[in-house]
Structure 1
Amino acid sequence: MNVQTATDTVKNGVRSLTDDVLQSAQDAVQATRDVADQSLDKAQEGVRALRSKADPAIDELAARAQDLAARSIDYCAETSARARRQMQQAADITGKYVAEQPGKSLMIAAASGAALATLAFWMSRRRAAC
C-alpha cells in the first residue's frame, strides 16, 4: 500500500466518521424537537382541560353575581318605597296635629327654632375659638 492510498483511506474514514457524527447530531436535534413537540401538546391539552373546567365555574359565578345584584336592587327599591311611605305618614300625622293644635304647634316650632339657633351659635363660637 502506498502513501497516497493510505491517505485516501484515512481521509475516507475521517469523512465517514464526520458524516456519522453529523447524522447523529441531526438525529439528536430531531429527537429533541419531537420530545418538545410532545411536551407542548400535553401542556396544550392540560390548558384545554383546565379551561373546560373553569368556564362553567366562571359562568356560575357570573350568574350568582347577577342574581345578587338583582336582589340588591330590589331590596334598595323596597327600602326606598318603605321610607317614602313612612315619611308621608309622618307628614300626614304632623299636618293633622298642626290643624288640631295650632297654638301648641306654634310653641313647639318656636322652641325648636330657638334650640337650633342656640346650637348653631355655640358651634360657631367653638370653631372661632379653635
Structure 2
Amino acid sequence: MNTNTNNRNLRAAASGYADDALDSGRQFASHALESASDKARDLRDSMKGFASRGASTMSDAAAAAQRQLGHYTQSTTRYVSEQPVKSALIAAAIGAGVAALLLALRRNADRRRDY
C-alpha cells in the first residue's frame, strides 16, 4: 500500500510539474508574441514615416525640376526669338549629329549580326 501511495504522490507531483512547465511555456510564448507584435508595430510606424518623408522629398525635387525646366523653356524661347537663324542652324547641326550617331550604331549592330 505504501508503494501505491508513493506512486500516486509521484504522479501527482510530476503532473503538477508538467502543468507548471506548460503554464510557463504558454506565458513565455504569449510574452514573446506580444513583444514581436510590438516590434512589428514599431517597424511599421517607422516605415510609414520613412515613406512619407521620401514622398515629400520626391515631391520637392519634382517641383524644383519643374521650376528649372520652366526657366530653361523661357531662356530657350527668348533665344530663339532673338536669334532665329542661329537657332535653326544649331537645331539642324544637332539633328545631323543624332542621325549620324544612329546610323553608326545601326551599322555596328549589322556588322555584329554578320559575324
| Residue of 84, 98, 105 corresponding to 1:102 | 84
Q: Give structure 1 stretches of 5+ with no counterpart.
A: 1-15
Q: How does 1:39-118 map to 2 (within 5 A)?
A: 39-118=21-100
Whole-Å separation in 1 of the counterparts to 2:105 and 2:27: 71
Aligned length: 112
Instruction: Report which of the two structures shows the higher radius of gyration computed on alpha carbons.
Output: 1
Q: Does 1:124 align with 2:106?
A: yes
Deviation by residue 1:24-52 (Cα, 9 ceiling, x = unmatched): 44443332221111011122233344445
Same amino acid, percent of matched pairs: 27
| Higher relative contact order (CA closer than 8 Å, sequence separation 6+) | 2
Moved segments of 4+, more than 6 Å: none
RMSD (Å), alpha carbons = 2.1
Structure 1 residue 98: deviation in Å?
A: 0.3
| TM-score relative to the length of structure 2 | 0.82
Q: Give structure 2 stretches of 5+ with no counterpart.
A: none
Structure 1 residue 53: deviation in Å?
A: 4.4
